Structure 1
Amino acid sequence: MSSVSFSGLATGLDTGSIISQLVELKRAPIYRLQKDKKSYQDQISSLATLKTKLLAVQTAARKLDTASEFSSAKATSSLAEALTATASGSAAPGQYDIFVKTLATAQKLQSQAYASKQDNIGAGTLSVTVGGETKSLTLVGVNTLEGLAGIINDNFEGVSASVINTGAATDPYRLVVNGSEAGTANAFTLDLSGLSGGVVPTMTTLSTAENATLTVDGIDVIATSNNPTDVISGLTLNLLEASATQKITISVARDTDGISAKVKGMVDAYNDLYTYLDKQTAAEGSLRGNSAARTVDSRITSLISSSLDGGLGAISRLSEMGITRGEDGTLEFDDAEFKEVPRRAVRQRARLLHQPRRQRRQGLPAGPGHQEHDQQHRGPVQDLHRLAEQAHQVHGRQHQPL
């Protein structure tokens, strides 16, 4: 459509241009709203990303929020196909010579042979006793061998039943009842004497419930399962094969690689968050002026920088672990330096981890004296966990009105 112009009149005005400018003037509020809408949408998207990065910091820090996690250990076996071990942070470094004499076994019973798993086994009362506790159940009507297995599974704890097809030319089916766990404490009694009116199963023993036996550094030990947690302090053993003449050495050492990976994960998560906040709160960032973003930025940054006062804060302690702050504000991690920490009484530092938190729970004032005490008794892992606390405190702020 061609534009209308009165420029040929005596006025000499370019009325087409004037009208276009007036229309644009009227549209200005719409343009502002559209711009504001996009700005809000950008902020919502950026805050969602911020939440994800905060949670990443929180998750990484929580992997280091207890003394046992920070001083975790690793156990290795000289014969992993026969014995393995898992170490907790309380496991003492050293070596243990172990002979696995016998494995713990679960009780197992079998019935006589049946021609069909649908054979009638009768009706009446059956009972199962496990750990000194007896439970009875009354069966009525016609009950099959397969049905009895299902009844045992559905109604009795500590045992399981199945019908086995042996493949024999005649009478291939047998009822087999197993104890759920190995060890003498899990022995059971199955009483079917109260059944009648069919071919009642007669149970015989395939295996008895027995404890495991082993020697640890020449000491005879009885274990109630094949996964004992109380034989060696801080270790869970996994007994796989028995051999009275095969010596197996379990070696326990500080898991410096595992701890290092956790600390590096914490540093990486912090740097990712710090870099993102720095970009998004800048003049051209989508979160410039946003109160939630400012709060996060302030808290996370102050956690690192404010503790420098007096040389007793986070960076002083963290630097001893190979963590320093770069010129751009991000953290740098020296793996080699960090791995020297376990040789420098890491347990003494770990004992300091929760002292400030206990004081806060006891309601002590957070005045200057308390802050000084907090700095003097805050270990590196406590500082890392405080990052997670900051993340948790601002977790829901992205839903505030923009």
Structure 2
Amino acid sequence: MSIQLGGLATGLDTNSLISQLLKVERKPIERLERDRSFFKARLAAFTDLDKRLRDLMSKAEELTTARKLVANKATPATEEFFKVSASSTAMAGNYNIKVLSLAQREKEVSLGVASVGAKEFGAGTLSLQVGGKDPVVININENNNSLGGIRDAINASGAGVKAAIINDGDAANPYRLVVTADDSGTPIEISANLTGGSYVDDPERPFAFTQTQEGTRAHIQVDGIDIYRTSNTITEAISGVTIDLLKEHGAADAATGLQVDLDVDAVEKKIRDFTNAYNEIVSFVAKQKDASWGRDAGMQAPLRNLQLLVSTAIGGDNSLQALSQLGMQTQKDGTLKVDGTRLKDAIRNDLDGVLGLFNGSVGVDGLAKKFGDYLKGVTDRANGILASRKTATDSSLRRIDQQIERQEMRLEKREKTMRAQFSAMEDLVGTLGAASSYLAQQLSMLSNFGSRR
């Protein structure tokens, strides 16, 4: 960067003068920058509003059906023997559950061998019969007659088992093949017909398998009714309840009680989440009152429409027609205050009415659907409030940026012009100063010449 030294001839601070003149001429750019900041702040406010509207839409969606709104809880007397969870369709009641056996997969284990990769099993066939199905025959030849090769051939056979190799730590023959059934309670029969090979020909170490774990089905009794499954996760033994078995009861007369009932707290929370999301919108719009966009129709219209939905009865013959009947009252600031006692009483004593209020009935839309339908429109990615404001704002910002760019270019040229003009003035003043000094010198010489005569 060149160093500008002004005022050497005139004594003026030309750099300061130019800076002050440019500052005055920069006023239009400053106005444009303020406009740009305004548009960005307005767009940020509408983006924030859109986020809150979407959150409310999400909370309303959780209230649109009984399956989404209703929550049940299943509580065992102890979780020592099983754990439970309940869906919205669970049948309320008290049950006694006895765990007689857990589901487990049959395991067959071979004798140990010295190497995983040594091809010393000879050739022939390996037959796998799983769960009474037709046997699956595997050919063993020079390409796969190692322990690792037999493992891979079993896993590729689709016989309904998985094979793995374990190392039991034996000093001479540590590697053993473990074959496990895919399904609990499924029996496995393995037979080998191999000839040749050092392992097979050793009469003391035939290629045979020993059962180390019996395959059993899960067996429970629910109120004395026997129920069997191939998994330790049991569904629909009790409608809507999932039971994860952990341990057998053992004692003949032992059992664990299970209580299934409505989870009032969980239902209340979903409704409170909805009202909290509504209150967030009310409070946010109120905070925008001092900004010019706070009076924008796009900011006020959603609030007015949501307030109308809150205060209007849904219609039809449902026992509950409005949120006020759930103990929700509109405060002076427009937010909803929830009376928790009244809300829980309504859930506990008139669940059908609560469901009708939010879910609706034949020919009547519930409050949740009315909210959802309206919010879906105002938050639409293409035609919603934010989308329209963003389109207009982006256009304004492009126009402002172009104007600022043109103004900056003009000021750059203006600065060059002024510096050139001041430089020319300095040169002129310097020339005039030199001429003045010369004339003064000449006059002095003439004066001195006259005095000597």
TM-score by length of 1: 0.74
Pair 1:344 & 2:349 matched: yes
Cα RMSD between the aligned structures?
Answer: 3.7
Pair 1:222 & 2:234 matched: no
- Deviation (angstroms), 1:251: 0.8
The 2-side partners of 1:287 and 1:129 are apart by 76
- Deviation (angstroms), 1:77: 0.9
Residue range with higher mean Cα deviation, 265-274 or 198-207: 198-207
Larger gyration radius, structure 1 or structure 2 = 2
Q: Aligned in 2, Cα 1:162/1:276: closer, same or farther, shift over 3 Å?
A: same
The equivalent of 2:417 in structure 1 is none
- Deviation (angstroms), 1:75: 0.6
Pair 1:259 & 2:267 matched: yes
Does the 8 A contact of 1:93 with 1:253 survive in 2? yes
The 2-side partners of 1:81 and 1:142 are apart by 47
Amino acid at match of 2:352: R
SS at match of 1:320: helix
The 1-side partners of 2:178 and 2:112 are apart by 11
- Unaligned stretches of 5+ residues in structure 2: 1-5, 8-16, 201-206, 393-453
The 1-side partners of 2:195 and 2:302 are apart by 75
Q: Aligned in 2, Cα 1:53/1:233: closer, same or farther, shift over 3 Å?
A: same
- Deviation (angstroms), 1:242: 0.8
Counterparts of 1:356-371 in structure 2, within 5 Å, are none
From 325, 328, 343, the counterpart of 2:330: 325
Counterparts of 1:156-167 in structure 2, within 5 Å, are 156=158, 158-167=160-169
- Deviation (angstroms), 1:40: 2.0
- Deviation (angstroms), 1:395: 4.1
The 2-side partners of 1:51 and 1:196 are apart by 76
Counterparts of 1:172-211 in structure 2, within 5 Å, are 172-182=174-184, 184=185, 187=186, 189=188, 193=192, 199=199, 201-211=207-217
- Unaligned stretches of 5+ residues in structure 1: 3-15, 360-372
Q: Aligned in 2, Cα 1:221/1:303: closer, same or farther, shift over 3 Å?
A: same
The 2-side partners of 1:332 and 1:123 are apart by 81
SS at match of 2:375: helix
Pair 1:387 & 2:371 matched: yes
Pair 1:64 & 2:70 matched: no
Does the 8 A contact of 1:43 with 1:287 survive in 2? no
**Structure with the larger helix share:** 2
The equivalent of 1:50 in structure 2 is 49
Amino acid at match of 1:246: A
Does the 8 A contact of 2:322 with 2:357 survive in 1? no
- Deviation (angstroms), 1:150: 4.9
The equivalent of 1:272 in structure 2 is 280
Residue range with higher mean Cα deviation, 115-124 or 222-231: 115-124
Does the 8 A contact of 2:359 with 2:369 survive in 1? no
Over residues 52-91 of structure 1, what are the superposed CA-to-partner deviations in whole Å (9 max), with x where a residue is unaligned? 3233223323333320332311011112021222111222
Over residues 226-282 of structure 1, what are the superposed CA-to-partner deviations in whole Å (9 max), with x where a residue is unaligned? 2111211121111111124321000112111112222222221221122113323x2
The 2-side partners of 1:23 and 1:213 are apart by 88
Q: Aligned in 2, Cα 1:257/1:318: closer, same or farther, shift over 3 Å?
A: same
Does the 8 A contact of 1:82 with 1:241 survive in 2? yes
Amino acid at match of 2:173: D
Counterparts of 1:1-400 in structure 2, within 5 Å, are 24=24, 27=26, 29-120=28-119, 121=121, 132=133, 141-142=143-144, 144-150=146-152, 152-153=154-155, 156=158, 158-182=160-184, 184=185, 187=186, 189=188, 193=192, 199=199, 201-243=207-249, 244-280=252-288, 282-284=289-291, 286=293, 288-289=295-296, 291=298, 293-305=299-311, 307-308=312-313, 316-347=321-352, 349-350=354-355, 354=359, 374=364, 378=365, 382-393=366-377, 394-396=379-381, 397=384, 398-400=386-388
Q: Aligned in 2, Cα 1:165/1:354: closer, same or farther, shift over 3 Å?
A: same
SS at match of 2:39: helix
Does the 8 A contact of 2:310 with 2:323 survive in 1? no
TM-score by length of 2: 0.67
Amino acid at match of 1:97: N
Over residues 158-194 of structure 1, what are the superposed CA-to-partner deviations in whole Å (9 max), with x where a residue is unaligned? 5333211222333122111223342x4xx26576747
The 2-side partners of 1:335 and 1:329 are apart by 19
The 1-side partners of 2:373 and 2:319 are apart by 15
Does the 8 A contact of 2:99 with 2:220 survive in 1? yes
- Deviation (angstroms), 1:287: 5.4
